[in-house]
Structure 1
Amino acid sequence: MRQKVKSSHKEFKKKNAKTLYKQFSNKSKREQEVERESYLEVLSQSLKIPSDVLACAPILTVTGNNQLCLENYKGIIEYTGEIIRIQAKNCRIHIEGCHLNIDYFTDDEMRISGKIIRIEYC
């Protein structure tokens, strides 16, 4: 005679859900990024440190519509006289205008001059 064996996997999974299955997250990558960003905001407020320092957020300083200083960027994606696309840590920054020129750039800072018409975060 055959005897049916009942699986105890579901019970085991319930008992050990917080320890064994902790590494397997059902959250999407975007949800994890949002949680991380909110955690960094809370941490920066409690430590009284600007959030851009902890999160490496891009800092744009625009002077009129002729000059832009950008800090905390990763790299330049596209560079023409009409558009400059820059990759930051969390987003892409598109700068549109006329006669755009990168005056100088270092590992974490750059200055753009020309007539700036639009700045877009993607």
Structure 2
Amino acid sequence: MSKKLKSNHKKFKKEAKDTLYKGFDTKNKKVKPKLSYLEELSNHLNLPTDILAGAPIVTATGRSEICLENYKSIIEYNESMVKVQSKTCKICIEGQELNIPYFTEDEMKITGFIKAIYYQ
């Protein structure tokens, strides 16, 4: 006749509960934003991310002028908001009397009273 084996899993789980997961803080998990492969590579090689990954470069001069480089397209544009798609994210610029005096394939200048810059 065969002898039945008794599982010790429940007993082990109960005994090891305090010691097994002691080093893990399961309550306060902070999620880091994931970087793309090219961003990781540029960090590893100590190169600027705009070279390899095409990361956007946002240069603000005071609260009245922004120079935006490495963008793909303009999503939305009006007096109070300019929303632009870059290679890595969307950039939303909010303000008053916003204007785009010039733009090329990869660079644009936004003027007006700038209140906020958001990355989505």
Tell me if TM exceeds 0.5.
Answer: yes
State the one-letter code of the partner of 1:112.
I
Aligned residues: 88
Match of 1:49 in 2: 47
TM-score, scaled relative to structure 2: 0.66
Please state how far the C-alpha of 1:50 moved relative to its aligned partner: 1.4
Please state how far the C-alpha of 1:90 moved relative to its aligned partner: 1.4
1:2-17 mapped onto 2 (5 Å cutoff): none
Q: What stretches of structure 1 of length at least 5 have no aligned partner?
A: 1-33
* Partner Cα distance (2:45, 2:85) in 1: 28
Backbone CA RMSD of aligned residues = 1.8
* Partner Cα distance (1:112, 1:84) in 2: 8
Match of 2:89 among 74, 91, 99: 91
State the one-letter code of the partner of 1:99.
E
Q: 1:45 to 1:86 in 2, by over 3 A?
A: closer
1:15-94 mapped onto 2 (5 Å cutoff): 34=34, 37=36, 39-94=37-92
Task: From the CA coordinates, give the structure whose radius of gyration is larger.
Answer: 2
* Partner Cα distance (1:85, 1:44) in 2: 26
Runs of 4+ in 1 over 6 A off after TM superposition: none
Greater share of helix? 1
Q: Secondary structure at the match of 1:49?
A: coil
Q: What stretches of structure 2 of length at least 5 have no aligned partner?
A: 1-33
* Partner Cα distance (1:45, 1:108) in 2: 23
Q: Deviations over 1:90-122 (max 9, x none)?
A: 111110000000010000000000000011011
Please state how far the C-alpha of 1:45 moved relative to its aligned partner: 4.3
Identity of aligned residues (%): 54
